Amino acid sequence: MSQSQVWHPFTQHALEPAIPEIVLTEGAYLHKADGTRILDAISSWWVITHGHRHPRIMKAIETTASTLDQIIFAGFTHEPAERLAKALVGLAPPGLDRVFYSDSGSTCVEVALKMALGYFRNIGAPRSRIVVMEHSYHGDTIGTMSVGARGVFNAAYEPLLFEVDTIPFPAAGREQETLDRFEAVSRNQHAAALIVEPLVLGAGGMLMYPAWVLTELKKIAEASGTLLIADEVMTGWGRTGTLFACEQASISPDILCTSKGLTGGAIPLAATLATDVIFQAHYSTDRKKTFFHSSSYTANPIACAAALANVEIWRDEPVAERIAVLSEKQAAGLQRFRDNPFFTDSRKTGTIAALDLRTGSSGYLAEIGPKLRAFFLERGLLVRPLGNVLYLLPPYCITGDELDRLHDAIEEAGERFG
Ligand code: PLP
């Protein structure tokens, strides 16, 4: 569109003057105004799980909007929020009995960090350090950027970010270094929390580590009284093969963050789930112990109803089977690239597959992302590489033929850019 006054996220407008307009979304596709379709291979920034505009979610939105809109959530409640909280507590790893609503991935992580700090202050043993994993991403607010590690994205805001302790990413064969470092950091007992993306570090390049590392991190956290925050904003709702990635490590974090797939991706909503111990630390006749956080759109009833419909889809439709089939197809697809010299690594966890494209200089690396994006878009494919990392994180309705199309295009991209 020309003459647009819209300022888009993560967009350098000087380099991307033409931004396509989408007029319809359906299943795995975005439809452009000119009638052409784009296959959404990244679930529109990892939010869409079952496919765009799942009828059950759309119906729930419509029905709820006929009786409720936003309600102040301090001092008031409503049925969709109450029912959803019960459902989430039932689905999440055991022990996460309290649900605090917010409206985006970043805010539910902010809430988690504040809960951790508030917990230690309220029990009279203040701790202020947060331990983070190298290459992590937890959002774009100042707080969540502080616990993230994306150099170029954070650089402009550095003076505002708070200090953290960083543990290395548990790369294959170097897992023990991560565990040893965390043990050393937590020994001084100043760490309020360790925050991690369980099993897959998304924006850091779809970096994957085994579940046993998470199990061990939880043990170390427990031994030192450090809270474990699992940021399942991206990994939740089936992406890694199970409803929540923490299940694969057989752990219950102290705090779990969920958003994106919570509503099947249709409408913004987030939730921070916490143990009753953390809630009880804030439960007091002393007003100073109140959890001081709110956003105007907390627990939007229409969004809560959409999330309830998502929960029902998980209950009534063969979602787990769909995920298992997609996981197998992703694994088979990667086989194709095993001996391809243009790709230096391939990896997969659940429904997420990633390939590292062989690249030359680091300057080339910085430029290649937008070039690859344009290459795929020309072929009607929404693939948005993270630097030289090509990944597929599709909605669960994607077909084998559609995946084949994507693999063909990836092969071609290897030949063109590798
Ligand atoms: N945490 C993780 C692990 C994410 O992947 C993201 C977004 O991609 C966020 C937090 C931030 O979510 P949002 O973009 O909804 O603020």
| Burial of 340 from C-beta contacts in 10 A (0-12 / 13-18 / 19+) | middle
User: Is residue 2 predicted with pLDDT exceeding 60?
Assistant: no
User: Is residue 1 predicted with pLDDT exceeding 70?
Assistant: no
Per residue in 326-339, pLDDT (tens digit) is 999 999 999 999 99
233 lines ligand 1 (CB under 6 A): yes
Closest residue by Cα to residue 208 from 216, 198, 218: 198
Residue 180 is predicted with a pLDDT of 98
Contacts 24+ apart (CB under 8 A), 161-167: 162/130, 163/129, 164/129, 164/130, 164/131, 164/132, 165/129, 165/130, 165/131, 165/132, 165/191, 166/131, 166/132, 166/133, 166/134, 167/131, 167/132, 167/133, 167/134, 167/194
DSSP labels, 321-388: HHHHHHHHHHHHHHHTTTT-TTEEEEEEETTEEEEEEP-SSHHHHHHHHHHHHHHHHHTTEE---BTT
171 sits in the region (left: phi over 0; alpha: psi -120 to 50; else beta) called: beta
Is residue 128 annotated as involved in ligand binding? Answer: no
Residue 16 is predicted with a pLDDT of 82
Evaluate whether 91 touches 311 at the Cβ level (below 8 Å): yes
Closest residue by Cα to residue 136 from 77, 75, 207: 207
109 lines ligand 1 (CB under 6 A): yes
Domains of the chain, start order: 57-316 (3.40.640.10), 319-417 (3.90.1150.10)
* From 10, 101, 138, 140, mutation site for ligand 1 pocket: most ligand atoms within 8 A of C-beta: 138
Provide the Cα torsion 152, 153, 159, 161; round to 10°.
-130
Per residue in 240-299, pLDDT (tens digit) is 999 999 999 999 999 999 999 999 999 999 999 999 999 999 999 999 999 999 999 999
Helix (H, G, I), strand (E, B) or coil at 141: coil
CB neighbour list of residue 85: distance below 8 Å, 6 or more residues apart: 99, 271
Q: Ligand 1 centre from 153 Cα, in Å?
A: 14
Count H helices, E strands: the chain?
13, 16
Closest residue by Cα to residue 50 from 415, 389, 315, 345: 315
User: Is residue 151 predicted with pLDDT exceeding 80?
Assistant: no
Enter the pTM of the model: 0.97
Q: What would the mean pLDDT of 59-88 be, rounded to a whole number?
A: 98
Amino acid, res. 86:
K
Residue 158 is predicted with a pLDDT of 87
Residue 250 is predicted with a pLDDT of 98
Q: Quote the mean pLDDT of the chain.
A: 95
Amino acid, res. 270:
A
138 lines ligand 1 (CB under 6 A): yes
135 lines ligand 1 (CB under 6 A): no
Per residue in 301-312, pLDDT (tens digit) is 999 999 999 999
- Beta strands (DSSP E) in 105-178 are 129-133, 165-167
Residue 150 is predicted with a pLDDT of 64
User: Is residue 362 predicted with pLDDT exceeding 80?
Assistant: no
Amino acid, res. 224:
S
- ipTM of the shown complex: 0.99
Band of residue 159 on the pLDDT scale cut at 50, 70, 90: confident
Closest residue by Cα to residue 390 from 352, 335, 341: 352
Q: What would the mean pLDDT of 118-134 be, rounded to a whole number?
A: 96
By mean pLDDT, which of 84-88, 91-95, 217-221, 368-372 is the weakest?
Answer: 368-372
